[in-house]
């Protein structure tokens, strides 16, 4: 019940235990097509370039930046937690110029500050932000942020590692250009895959680059030779076959549940947890309107020792909750209700364990 990986459903575990077949096997190629179609469903997009990168969420982040940022490009990077900081680091390493818009850890990204940065930097090309900040438990208004970026002629890069399947997310309706997620959060599959999706505008920026993408492995021009529609399925790298079985099964399950129902389940279980925590006298870090249902960051009660409580939960109840990061270390706990972990019985167990421990 931490910030991920979430519990993996037994159906997904058994899908992963099936025999490993070749990554060029026709049966496997058929499964790849299904994975792409189901990812489009999960992202709510018709983007042709929608597929999983063969590496964790951080690689999806790097794929978006490495393909879209050229040396000298000005990128507005919103930082309200750990992951925005990593976006800035990506921009720097690619020779881009990061214009940072900062908000407090625990707050949503301020639309007004982003608009100010866009006015002050008319040469900016990209706006990058984290939809669901797992380090703080705050959600930002992705729809409004993309709208404002588009209005000022910028494309956008969106981190949806924790939001996909857990919070409302509409890639096409909201005008998202490049988005990356992870397999191990609200999709409840094994860690190690990063679904990404690129709009036509993002592909245009990619194909009009003056310089080659500096990463060979993440160069989408090459990756698409294996994953692309009508591609020759040329060998690029050995796909993580069994991990993809797992993602496939998790997407089948998402489709069975319905993605909107999955958003609702995360919200309902968040309310249930919040009610129980409030009864124990535990408050949230984030304002009610900006709270992530799948990552509950709560203030550690004054009279409690962070490490002692977490160790006791682990030792006595086999429950893992997350610690605070950076400036929030020792101040908050991060309780994850992601994917298969987002269940009533887990909440009841945690609440009684916490009551006992405190």
Ligand X SMILES: *Cc1c(COP(=O)(O)O)cnc(C)c1O
**Residue numbers at the binding site for ligand X (CB under 6 A):** 4, 56-58, 61, 83, 130, 134, 159, 161-162, 182, 191
Phi, psi torsion values for 271, nearest 5 degrees? -65, -40
Q: Which is nearer to ligand X, 56 or 228 (CB)?
A: 56
Distance in Å, CB of 159 to ligand X, minimum: 5
Q: Which is nearer to ligand X, 196 or 351 (CB)?
A: 196
Distance in Å, CB of 83 to ligand X, minimum: 4
Encoded tokens for 49: 């370039």
Distance in Å, CB of 308 to ligand X, minimum: 26
Distance in Å, CB of 221 to ligand X, minimum: 23
Q: Which residue is nearest to ligand X (CB)?
A: 57
DSSP-derived pairing of the beta strands 126-130 and 155-159: parallel
Q: Which is nearer to ligand X, 129 or 284 (CB)?
A: 129
Distance in Å, CB of 160 to ligand X, minimum: 8
The position carrying tokens 């792409």 is: 36
Spatial separation of the C-alpha atoms in residues 252 and 258, rounded to whole Å: 10
Q: Which is nearer to ligand X, 61 or 277 (CB)?
A: 61
Helix (H, G, I), strand (E, B) or coil at 184: coil
Q: Which is nearer to ligand X, 183 or 269 (CB)?
A: 183
Spatial separation of the C-alpha atoms in residues 267 and 294, rounded to whole Å: 8
- Cβ-based burial of 334 (10 A; exposed 0-12, middle 13-18, buried ≥19): buried
Helix axes 200-207, 57-68, angle to 10 degrees: 60
Q: Which is nearer to ligand X, 96 or 195 (CB)?
A: 195
Distance in Å, CB of 70 to ligand X, minimum: 23
- Cβ-based burial of 13 (10 A; exposed 0-12, middle 13-18, buried ≥19): middle
Spatial separation of the C-alpha atoms in residues 183 and 21, rounded to whole Å: 21
SS3 readout for 231-297: CCCCCCCCCCHHHHHHHHHHHHHHHHHCHHHHHHHHHHHHHHHHHHHHHCCCCECCCHHHECCCEEE
Spatial separation of the C-alpha atoms in residues 45 and 225, rounded to whole Å: 21
Spatial separation of the C-alpha atoms in residues 8 and 214, rounded to whole Å: 35
Q: Which is nearer to ligand X, 94 or 338 (CB)?
A: 338
Spatial separation of the C-alpha atoms in residues 122 and 268, rounded to whole Å: 42
Distance in Å, CB of 335 to ligand X, minimum: 14
Q: Which is nearer to ligand X, 54 or 134 (CB)?
A: 134
Distance in Å, CB of 58 to ligand X, minimum: 3
Phi, psi torsion values for 43, nearest 5 degrees? -85, -10
What are 284's strand-pairing partners?
298
Encoded tokens for 74: 């000005």
Q: Which is nearer to ligand X, 86 or 354 (CB)?
A: 86
Distance in Å, CB of 135 to ligand X, minimum: 7
């Amino acid at each position: 019940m931490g910030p991920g990986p979430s519990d993996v459903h037994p159906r997904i575990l058994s899908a992963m235990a099936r025999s490993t077949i070749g990554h060029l096997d026709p049966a496997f190629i058929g499964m790849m097509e299904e994975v792409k179609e189901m990812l489009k469903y999960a992202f709510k997009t018709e983007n042709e370039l929608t597929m999983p990168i063969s590496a964790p969420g951080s690689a999806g982040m790097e794929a978006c930046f490495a393909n879209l940022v050229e040396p000298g490009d000005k990128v507005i990077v919103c930082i309200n937690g750990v992951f925005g900081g990593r976006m800035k680091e990506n921009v720097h390493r690619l020779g881009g110029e990061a214009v940072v818009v900062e908000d407090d850890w625990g707050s949503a990204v301020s639309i007004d500050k982003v608009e100010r940065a866009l006015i002050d930097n008319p040469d900016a090309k990209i706006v990058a932000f984290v939809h669901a900040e797992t380090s703080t438990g705050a959600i930002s208004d992705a729809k409004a942020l993309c709208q404002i970026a588009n209005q000022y002629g910028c494309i956008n890069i969106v981190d949806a590692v924790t939001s996909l399947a857990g919070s409302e997310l509409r890639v096409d309706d909201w005008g998202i250009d490049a988005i990356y997620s992870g397999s191990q959060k609200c999709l409840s599959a094994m860690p190690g895959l990063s679904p990404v999706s690129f709009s036509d505008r993002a592909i245009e920026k990619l194909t009009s680059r003056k310089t080659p993408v500096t990463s060979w492995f993440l160069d989408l021009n090459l990756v698409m030779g294996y994953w692309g529609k009508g591609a020759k399925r040329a060998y690029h790298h050995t796909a993580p076959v069994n991990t993809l079985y797992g993602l496939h099964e998790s997407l089948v399950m998402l489709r069975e549940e319905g993605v909107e129902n999955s958003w609702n389940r995360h919200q309902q279980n968040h309310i249930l947890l919040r009610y129980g925590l409030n009864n124990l006298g535990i408050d949230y870090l984030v304002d009610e309107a900006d709270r992530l249902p799948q990552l509950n960051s709560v203030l550690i009660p004054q009279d409690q020792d962070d490490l002692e409580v977490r160790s006791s939960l682990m030792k006595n109840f086999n429950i893992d909750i997350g610690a605070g990061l950076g400036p929030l270390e020792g101040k908050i706990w991060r309780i994850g209700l992601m994917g298969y972990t987002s269940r009533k019985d887990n909440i009841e167990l945690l609440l009684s364990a916490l009551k006992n421990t405190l």
